[in-house]
Structure 1
């Protein structure tokens, strides 16, 4: 496994500003990503109260119910309870961990916690926050695999229109096992397939929701790193959050006004509007029968008109305290709630997260706290042995493929090997025939309307035949050079599937199937400590 830093442009204008413009961080965030920023944040956390015993109890129970805790995870839990801060990141509960960026983010959390532990000389623990309250099942019910030199989407069926939270959506484990075996058939048989499949199916035992299955896999993959896992929809966690939910209800107008005003400024500063926030947003969901209903404020009440829910501020505040499991955060309040229950030294996020975090400082301030240090996650592009050999054979490098050059080179290659002589002969034949038809059309013999229409019809017929002949010659050329052409298709499928980064398509198990069970631990050991970089990883 070899790492190579790739010099690649930041993903969008916001990330460019975050990485290169100190004024941007000063305007929209509370702490810079330098040593002084971390020290100041650490001091702030030491002056804030946290229910550390309650938090560690929730994490221990959740992880114990899914896959158990490794020795390293137990060490981190003790450190957390005794006063250690955390580096936090999170993601949805995708099948087979979801796309690679979920694992990349968890690796970034682990590496950043390790870096800060060494830099600050104090224990820092890695925590991964699973967005189990998310209800868009179509975002998490599929896995991509490479088949016939292209990415193929394998979906696990969900009930039509289902909107239950991932943590409460139960699937049939026998159906899921069949689905997983199908995905592994797409991966192909290697020396690691049998044991890897056994590990995955072992994590499926006793875990019949998207969140619990995801947690079991992540716990197993990151056991050596001691990654701590937390479900945002855990009823046990909700009880810790109850007083904070009440405050959020009371502060809802101020939170919404601050975020809306900040987003308007964000737009004036030349950025987009990632949230589309409005002052009537409550930024809270009401949960009923496992389904979330977004609330708005209308005439002093919290309502969801289509679902028929309507609460006064006092009624919703009472629900927050007595039945906190009936409330859920949205994209604005989730980061704030995370910071209220976990001593977050640094938050690790992707480009999209950092864009909307840019708007959240007023929400943190209204809850009486500051934002943590925000750290861009690292990105990884894996180069399999097959891809490496194709890069060498084509003369391309990985950067070329990521820049879209594989398709350009493919078309250039096809042009070079095309049968130009045959194509020229067809062109000459067609031109001679058309010349004859034009001469016939202009002669006095063919002056009748019916004859003219017949000439046009015949010309159209012959044009179709010539085009058919061209297509068949082209297909013959492609077939003759199929092996060489497929190299370009495979490079695109692996490194730039459907025009996007690999990490947004494939599960890590695609690469573990080739590399072996030490894939995650080797990555964690060798990853750079520089946040936000993009690395090529040769397997």
Structure 2
């Protein structure tokens, strides 16, 4: 295995906002707290240590023990859960939707980044304990985003009706998926391992929460990962005062709107807050809470509460109140002794909108860390790239740009009219000087003629390039083939491909390889040769 690193900005797959964050641009300084480096973690430890109490730790540990009740924990996971009662223990957290069979590859990269960061921090700060946490987005209701995964260019889909929180969905219909997926996998040893994992997760558990918890525990339990479900009455009770504040004062709307307005001066806004950023969650129901005419109404239902009634509901049934994307981060930071959240570019974008909201509620804002992004490239693929003289950096070019560059490099004809353009522009400089000494109105005609001839050169160059592409069709086809393999649908592999494709090749070596390769604080894109 060899590991290469490319600056995120050079891949051209990440936003200006993320680029500015990684560069610690002054444009973003007010929208986050400590930066993800060792000095930042030192400050964050002091900040969080003074704000997370003993009773919160006890509630957290009891909830985790209950959530793990029917699951076989590794010794390290059990140790990590127990250690959370100690004031010297802190968490590093990532979160994700309950995509079936993990969804895209970056699901794994998030968790590996989280585990590896806890290892780095343990070396740097040996007086503390660091626990990797995966937050299951069990209360999410965007079923269409999680009901499939891609395998060898085909979608494997869980086709069913859905309502309410996805974590509560029954795993009906997975026997059909399992049968179809098994036929695609084949019968190798690695294929049979994948089938066993899938079958045990989805055919032997009754809801998506339990299935996902089992799956993630199988993949990462031995590395001490702690999996948490926020859909928990005891944990929601801890969040109750914030829920009441939201219902009465619309604090998140007020604060996030102000921050978003400032952020929008330089960047696109990821999410827009509602006046009340809570859902009402009961059974298969998860609907927005709306305040109208001095009443609290549950959207698309006939359920209505008075002010007194809804506050009593929060007190008696805190589990019925579900934070949306604006409030979920705060909920996480209230119930965990958390130092850092690890997420993708889109996630970090909306976290930047929340800093003032956290400050308003006297809650430490966590360090934000861009997860590791990875391109996995096999030895065979690397040999092909070397024969085509395509570098790893060039692989990230848009396909047309890459092909044009390579055709120009290998062509026996120079496909570059830069010298001709320069010569033409020099000739027209003389004409412009002549126009100035005669009739200044003539300059416009000279400029127009110059542009016409420059456009003509551009068209001739494009036609020559097109002709050379036809002549060098074999090279063009090979470049297209290898790049399409590594960048399916002209996108990053990690955003579409499922881990099972790589597992077929590498089997149980896949996750150890990733753990060896990924450096979360490197803050660069990772290319792994295997």
TM class, shorter-length: 0.7 to 0.9
Cα 1:299–1:40 shift into 2, 3 Å? farther
Alignment of 1:65-464 (within 5 A): 65=70, 67-83=71-87, 84-121=89-126, 122-146=128-152, 151-159=153-161, 162-172=162-172, 173-185=174-186, 190-235=188-233, 237-250=235-248, 252-268=249-265, 270-278=266-274, 281-405=275-399, 409=403
- Corresponding residue for 2:493? 502
Residues in 2 aligned to 1:530 and 1:368: alpha-carbon distance in whole angstroms: 27
Cα 1:529–1:267 shift into 2, 3 Å? closer
Is 1:14 the equivalent of 2:10? no
C-alpha offsets along residues 282-328 of structure 1, whole Å, 9 cap, x if unaligned? 01001233231122333444334533343334322221221122110
- Corresponding residue for 1:53? 58
How far off is 1:182 after superposition?
Answer: 4.2
State whether residues 41 and 345 of structure 1, in contact with CA within 8 Å, keep that contact through their aligned partners in structure 2. yes
SS in 1 for 2:301: coil
How far off is 1:490 after superposition?
Answer: 4.0
C-alpha offsets along residues 144-187 of structure 1, whole Å, 9 cap, x if unaligned? 122xxxx332222122xx232111111224224224314525xx
TM-score (norm. length: structure 2): 0.80
Residues in 2 aligned to 1:494 and 1:224: alpha-carbon distance in whole angstroms: 32
- Corresponding residue for 1:538? 529
State whether residues 58 and 236 of structure 1, in contact with CA within 8 Å, keep that contact through their aligned partners in structure 2. yes
Residues in 2 aligned to 1:243 and 1:28: alpha-carbon distance in whole angstroms: 25
| Cα RMSD for the two superposed structures | 2.9
Residues in 2 aligned to 1:387 and 1:283: alpha-carbon distance in whole angstroms: 48
Cα 1:301–1:533 shift into 2, 3 Å? farther
Cα 1:392–1:106 shift into 2, 3 Å? same
SS in 2 for 1:224: helix
State whether residues 167 and 209 of structure 2, in contact with CA within 8 Å, keep that contact through their aligned partners in structure 1. yes
User: Alignment partner for residue 520 of structure 1, among 502, 505, 511?
Assistant: 511
Unaligned runs of 5+ in 2: 412-469
State whether residues 517 and 528 of structure 2, in contact with CA within 8 Å, keep that contact through their aligned partners in structure 1. no
> Size of the alignment, in residue pairs?
463
Residues in 2 aligned to 1:178 and 1:499: alpha-carbon distance in whole angstroms: 30
Cα 1:390–1:42 shift into 2, 3 Å? same
Cα 1:248–1:532 shift into 2, 3 Å? farther
State whether residues 94 and 134 of structure 2, in contact with CA within 8 Å, keep that contact through their aligned partners in structure 1. yes
Residues in 2 aligned to 1:254 and 1:343: alpha-carbon distance in whole angstroms: 23
Cα 1:406–1:80 shift into 2, 3 Å? farther
Residues in 2 aligned to 1:73 and 1:487: alpha-carbon distance in whole angstroms: 47
State whether residues 26 and 32 of structure 1, in contact with CA within 8 Å, keep that contact through their aligned partners in structure 2. no
Residues in 2 aligned to 1:410 and 1:60: alpha-carbon distance in whole angstroms: 58
Moved more, 76-85 or 127-136: 76-85
Moved more, 327-336 or 39-48: 39-48
Residues in 2 aligned to 1:130 and 1:309: alpha-carbon distance in whole angstroms: 28
Cα 1:529–1:143 shift into 2, 3 Å? closer
TM-score (norm. length: structure 1): 0.79
Alignment of 1:22-61 (within 5 A): 22-48=25-51, 49=53, 50-61=55-66
State whether residues 255 and 362 of structure 1, in contact with CA within 8 Å, keep that contact through their aligned partners in structure 2. no
How far off is 1:119 after superposition?
Answer: 1.5
How far off is 1:348 after superposition?
Answer: 1.0
How far off is 1:32 after superposition?
Answer: 2.9
Cα 1:493–1:143 shift into 2, 3 Å? farther
Residues in 1 aligned to 2:38 and 2:268: alpha-carbon distance in whole angstroms: 30
C-alpha offsets along residues 196-253 of structure 1, whole Å, 9 cap, x if unaligned? 3223323335323333222211111112311100122244543444444334434x42
Residues in 1 aligned to 2:184 and 2:68: alpha-carbon distance in whole angstroms: 26
State whether residues 8 and 525 of structure 2, in contact with CA within 8 Å, keep that contact through their aligned partners in structure 1. yes
How far off is 1:410 after superposition?
Answer: 9.4
Unaligned runs of 5+ in 1: 418-476
- Corresponding residue for 1:440? none
How far off is 1:513 after superposition?
Answer: 1.2
How far off is 1:143 after superposition?
Answer: 1.2
SS in 2 for 1:85: strand
Residues in 1 aligned to 2:480 and 2:232: alpha-carbon distance in whole angstroms: 44
- Corresponding residue for 2:4? 4
C-alpha offsets along residues 114-140 of structure 1, whole Å, 9 cap, x if unaligned? 112222222111111010111111111
Residues in 2 aligned to 1:75 and 1:518: alpha-carbon distance in whole angstroms: 25
SS in 1 for 2:268: coil
